[in-house]
Amino acid sequence: MGKLHHAMMGTAAVAIGTAAAIPGTLVNLAAGGQARSAVRFGHPSGTLRVGAQALQDAGGWKVTKALMSRSARVLMEGWVRVPQQGD
């Protein structure tokens, strides 16, 4: 109780990417105010790249594509020794 589900962060990130793709939104202006298809930001576990394709027509804005790509920090590195058959 009292904790957000981990999927909520992905949902919010896609919403940020979508807002960044629409010129004039607060997110778009905070990201530099230019036309963009993606933004990248850091989080405690790595980086996140989110974006969207949004088109404007007479009825308003329509999102035709949304994307999210994550990276994670390295938690461990090492070697594993696997014996050959017969050893």
Q: What is the domain partition of the chain in residue ranges? A: 6-70
Collapsing DSSP to helix, strand or coil, 7 comes out as helix
CATH superfamily of 6-70: Diaminopimelate Epimerase; Chain A, domain 1 (3.10.310.10)
DSSP state of 50: E
CB atoms within 10 A of CB 79: 4
pLDDT tens for each residue of 8-50:
678 888 899 999 999 999 999 998 998 888 988 777 667 888 9
Percent of the chain with pLDDT over 90: 36
Contacts of 36 (CB under 8 A, 6+ apart): 20, 21, 28, 51
pLDDT for position 52: 94
Percent of the chain with pLDDT over 70: 84
